[in-house]
Chain A
Amino acid sequence: MVLGTYKQITLGRSTDKQIQKISQDGGIATGLLCFALDEKIIDGAVVAGPSDEMWKPKATVALTSDEILAAAGTKYTLSPNNWALKEAVRQYGLEKAGIVTIPCQTMGLRKMQSYPFGVRFMADKIALDVGIFCTENFSFESLRTFITAKAGVDFDLVEKMDIGNGKFWVHTQDDVINFPIKETHGYEQSGCKVCLDLVSELSDISTGSIGAPDDWSAVMTRTETGDTIFKQAVDAGAIELKPMDEGKFGLEMLTKLAKSKKEKAMKEIDRRKELGLPVPYKASSEKEDPLANV
């Protein structure tokens, strides 16, 4: 199953007008965390918050809805959110931490929970992990380079960046510029080339834009915890739903892209194995489902 195990798949968006305005897609990440905070399901959340530098996120512990809102929007560069979990638990004393993670960060968290070798009393503090989809990520300098060079836009003027329909979109106050996503190739971090997970298969709830119309998000609930919290948020009216299109622009597209990411990664994994380079995953020949995240 290229989308991982899930209980429910749907389109969703936050019903909060302010969240709708500032969020990347349907505001599921921000909306869910704010809901969970209000309901005391979490007592804070680790998010990719703003730093002193435009578009350079800082992994941040948010204790209020305002701080969660301040982190809305995708920053296409590295934000080591797992690192800030330590701060959340040790400095801020969170007992029930929420966290937003891209798939590879989710993997680090889950490994720590199953095998907490040297990590004391942290595994049980993660009350909600909202996983977001991810195709690739860029170092800050890579991002800056292709925004300024390819899109020809001053970094400080950029209001939003987005990937969709095969293009990288750069929004400024009075302009929207795009270039083919192909042109970012060569800039992505190389660790992404062996990544088998597009849809945050191990999160409590995963969400992204693929398969959803503008301003909506695709959502998959995965664990019991995730499913319960999501239903609560829907029942409370914090999130509204509409069914996902099964066809070309919905589930079909999501499945296709998840599969092609896995196929590309498996090629690279097999190539590395042949060269004798280390890689933590099995070769295609070593596993039952050649596309599984193992």
Chain B
Amino acid sequence: MLARIKEFLGMEAKPKEEASQQEVEKVAEEEKAKPRIGYIHLSGCTGDAMSLTENYDILAPLLTEMVDIVYGQTLADVWWDDENPMPEMDLALVEGSVCLQDEHSMKELLEVREKAGLVVAFGSCAATGCFTRYSRGGQQANPRHESFVPVADVVKVDLAMPGCPPSPEIIAKTVVAVINGDMDYLQPMMDLVGYTEACGCDLQLKVVNQALCIGCGTCAMSCPTRAVGMTDGRPELNEDRCVKCGICYTQCPRSWWPAERINMDLGL
């Protein structure tokens, strides 16, 4: 399975015989300890879950053979209420920001923190608040709901995976890293936990203003809403289009620089 995921990701394929041998050992190992995963859906649009399921090639074996989905409304039909306590989880993916006025969401999030070994802010709504930052209440179904914040504002988060939505590829790469215990790959996601106040204007404040911009255009390439253009070699933000997902700054080569990983991925 692992070989299949790696192949899917274009990682180096192992010699065939060795691969199958290792695969067997790996699966045997996994039988003992399949990670227990939960999916918690707060104020998000289900885009993150959709993106996860877009890993068609690996999804079925991933969900059935490699991990146990023990909690979640979309991926496993398990709800938490007074009669059914929330199960223990090794890892909980939290999609969506949390609404401070929504008692149920708050209660679920706090419980998840209790029950899960690792809490992942999965997608930009959970990580940075993303477009829910614009909420001002006064809408149906509950006009009182107006304060949506990144989950790290309320509980301790271990990993953040911004993206509106996160790409299917980063999800698959992260799954592989978690299964392999590849902490180096996960390090940037630990660092991104602190990046909760994101905005397209970060390009100006944290890159251009800091004499670091080199006009490469990676920010404009990455923005999912095309809020960033390039004018005279510098990013120009159309604020009306910005959903505050933080992806432009996250992808900028001048925000953080994973040199070792890149060399490894390129075989250099």
Query: Which range holds the interface residue count of chain A?
Result: 35 or more
Tally B residues with Cβ within 8 Å of A: 52
Residues of chain B with a CB closer than 8 A to A293's CB: 259
Cβ of A292 within 8 Å of any chain B Cβ, yes or no, is yes
Residues of B within 8 A of A86 (CB): 220-221
> For residue B124, which residues in chain A have a CB less than 8 angstroms away from its CB?
118
Whether A121 contacts B212 by the Cβ 8 Å rule is no
Interface flag for B117 (CB, 8 Å): no
Residues of A within 8 A of B163 (CB): 117-118
Say which residue of B164, B206, B221, B261 sits within 8 Å of A82 (CB atoms). Answer: B221
A182 within 8 A of B: no
- B220 and A118 contact, CB distance less than 8 A: no
Q: Is B261 within 8 A of A108, CB to CB?
A: no
CA distance A140 to B214 in the complex (A): 13
Q: How far is the CA of A219 from the CA of B94 in the complex (A)?
A: 48
Q: Mark A262-290, 1 if CB is under 8 A from B, else 0.
A: 00000000000000011111000000000
Does any Cβ of A come within 8 Å of B262's Cβ? Answer: yes
Q: A187: shortest Cβ distance to chain B, in Å?
A: 13
User: A202–B167 contact, CB under 8 A?
Assistant: no
> 8 Å CB contacts to B: which residues of A179-236?
189-195, 201-202, 222-224
Instruction: Choose from B165, B214, B258 the contact partner of A192 (Cβ within 8 Å).
Output: B214
Q: What CA separation (Å) do A110 and B258 show in the bound complex?
A: 9
Q: Which A residues are in CB contact (< 8 Å) with B143?
A: none
In whole angstroms, how far apart are the Cα atoms of A71 and B168 in the complex?
34
Q: Is A14 engaged at the interface, CB distance under 8 Å to the other chain? A: no
Which of B37-45, B100-108, B245-253 is the interface stretch?
A: B245-253
Q: How many A-B residue pairs have CB under 8 A?
A: 168
How far is A225 from B213 in the complex, measured between Cα atoms in Å?
A: 29
Stretch in A35-43, A73-81, A253-261 with 4+ CB within 8 Å of B: A73-81
Are A78 and B215 in touch, CB under 8 angstroms?
A: yes
**Distance of A241 from chain B, by nearest CB (Å):** 22
Which of A5, A119, A223, A294 makes the CB contact (< 8 A) with B167? A119
A294 touches B211 (CB 8 A): no
Most A CB within 10 A of own CB, among B168, B173, B212, B266: B266
Within 8 A of A (CB), among B210-229: 210-218, 220-222, 224
**B222 partner, pick from A119, A137, A193, A280, beta carbons under 8 A:** A119
Q: Is the CB of A111 within 8 A of B257?
A: yes
**Chain A residues near B162 (CB-CB < 8 A):** 117-118
Is A278 touching B210 in the complex (CB atoms < 8 A)? yes
B10 within 8 A of A: yes
Beta-carbon contact of B251 and A117 below 8 Å = yes
CB of B263 within 8 A of CB of A5, answer yes
Other-chain residue from B10, B166, B173, B262 in contact with A110 (beta carbon distance below 8 A): B262
Chain A residues with CB under 8 Å of chain B are 4-5, 59, 77-86, 104-105, 107-124, 137, 139-141, 189-195, 201-202, 222-224, 277-281, 292-294
> What are 11 contact pairs spanning A and B, CB under 8 A?
A80-B216, A81-B217, A108-B216, A115-B261, A118-B250, A121-B169, A139-B232, A192-B214, A223-B267, A278-B210, A280-B255
